[in-house]
A and B are shown apart, each in its own frame.
Chain A
Amino acid sequence: MLGINDPGIYLGYLFSILGLIACIVYGILNWNKGRETDIEEIQKDLEWESKDELTKGEI
């Protein structure tokens, strides 16, 4: 295959390319999925902000 005869090598390339395709397909299919809408998560973020206020002023 493309000048490489050893399956030990071309399977390595094949798995690399399949892994790459899997990453691309997954990324495209889920491009807009998983956005955080959980109100509690946003609440938690605000809590963090207020806790972090304590450590401000040191930069």
Chain B
Amino acid sequence: MNTFVLGLVVVIYLLAIAFLGYRGYKQTKSAKDYLLAGRDIHPFVMAMSYGATFISTSAIIGFGGIAGVYGMGLIWLTALNIIVGVFIAFIFFGRVTRKMGHNLDAHTFPEFLGNRFQSKKIQIISGAVIFISMPLYAAVVLIGGARFIESIFEIDFSLALTFFSIIIAAYVIAGGLKGVMYTDALQGSIMFLSLFFLLIVTYVKLGGVSAAHEALTNMVNLVPESLTSKGHEGWTVFPKMNSAWWWALTTNIILGVGIGVLAQPQLVVRFMTVKSNRELNRAVLIGGIFIFVATGFVFTVGALTNLYFYNESGQLAIQVAKGNVDLIIPEYISAAMPEWFVYLFMLALLSAGMSTLSSQFHTMGTSLGRDFIENVFPNKKIDSMMISKIGIIVAILISIIIGYKLPGSIIARGTAIFFGICAATFLPVYFGALYWKRVTKTAALWSILTGLIASVFSLGFMHVKESEPLGICQAIFGKPTLASEFPWMIVDPILIAMPISIVVLIVVSLATQKTSDEHLAACYKGIK
């Protein structure tokens, strides 16, 4: 790869990002602008920002690589991402959230829950949960991005990390959510174009859609013994029922990530950035196409890399990547794609990381500033924008420290930990806030707390993928997990913690006093 050309491409890209960040800065005049992008975001920008925030570098490289090892079963994640993450999220959650958020003067997701249930405690606790658990998720993306820059430009890791953090910090702090969403739209477009091209070229190289799939199906006898024992039955076959990989795919990836998306604070807040439901209706179309390409295309290519590498070198993708799943997609790009595409793909990966991080930083900053500090010190006259900016700086520093200090094995589970905690803690209460008027303030608070405790317990003591690297269970009980029987040690924490949180929400709601009719009328005003 030509370093000069790469440098030039990256400089042009950064200038475009700087311009969009500056545009966000110039248009940000109030807390509404800073926290909710002025509530007048264009549907294209909203949809691309939602998608680009949702799809991080690890979704492309990590899940693409997993498809390279285990095959096309991951396509179910695409199906759920479109049906749940876009269609259901926008139409059944987004439209009501937008209107109710407006009725309640909510600027953030915790403020939405707090105002809906007339409880500052709920806002403070929700803000704290997000601020404490999200840095681990941000650290995953941050470290991934810095490692990527380190390897591409052959610079020191610390320098890459500093450079990467400062650039994102600059436009998030100055431009607020407008800066974040404008840059997201550009970054999402780059991701879309590269992944679209990637699949088309792959099929052309492999002789067409049916020919490529048939050839990959015929490679079933080449599946290594180590994978067949886990339930792998070929790259175009769903894993064997009740096998280890079947449980991991169905619960962790498909349900965990596919359902977990509904309660992501950085995504929910985007529903409140548009002026009317018309914008959300339009965003459904754009978001659906984006997610289909951004996930479905890369998962398909991931599986097909086996065919390409086998034809070229007689090796499977994981063998070419020397056992490192994360290297399958990059190895394929550099081996099979034209050189100009390699540059574009670099930008796509950089974009995927930056768009996710910028939203994470913004959400953590507003959680600390607007939701936590402003409510813990209610008598102090605090400027929302200033305190959110300070919150963002603190969030970035914490994410960097976590990235440096925590072992790689824990960092690698950061996304799953955050998704698990968010889904169990917020999803039942968020759904109740939108659709069940009987939910009470006490029930909402208890549901949040039990969801949080159950998910943390499940992550720390049951689900071996997290409990082992965290090491708390080992330190207390002398074993990596308390779950002794299959499949409990591999069942996603969401499937354990979320039902508990739902039961608590229902039971406590029915046992406590109803919310006043006046408040409910104010919440549901204009919602049919």
Contact = CB atoms under 8 A, between A and B. Distances in A.
A50 to B, nearest CB: 10
B405 interface: no
A27 B288 contact: yes
B79 A19 contact: yes
11 contacts: A9-B73, A9-B75, A9-B236, A12-B78, A23-B284, A23-B287, A27-B283, A34-B277, A34-B279, A55-B31, A56-B29
Interface stretch (B379-387, B412-420, B504-512): B379-387
Nearest to B239: A8
Given A16-B296, A36-B275, A59-B28, A5 B386 contact: no
Contacts of A34: 95, 276-281
A18 to B, nearest CB: 8
A3 B214 contact: yes
A59 B39 contact: no
Nearest to A20: B292
Interface string A6-38: 101100110111011011101110111111101
A8 B209 contact: no
B201 interface: no
B82 A19 contact: yes
Contacts of B335: none
Grouping DSSP codes into helix (H, G, I), strand (E, B) and loop, the B interface class, with mixed when no group exceeds half, is helix
Interface string B28-68: 11111110000100000000000000000000000000000
Interface residues of A, number: 41
Given A12-B78, A36-B277, A26 B28 contact: no
A2 B286 CA distance: 27
A36 B99 CA distance: 10
Interface stretch (B83-91, B128-136, B148-156): B83-91
B167 interface: no
Contacts of B95: 34
A13 B75 contact: yes
B210 interface: yes
B285 interface: yes
A15 to B, nearest CB: 4
A26 B217 contact: no
A40 B157 CA distance: 53
B338 interface: no
Interface string B196-234: 000000000000011111111100000000000000001
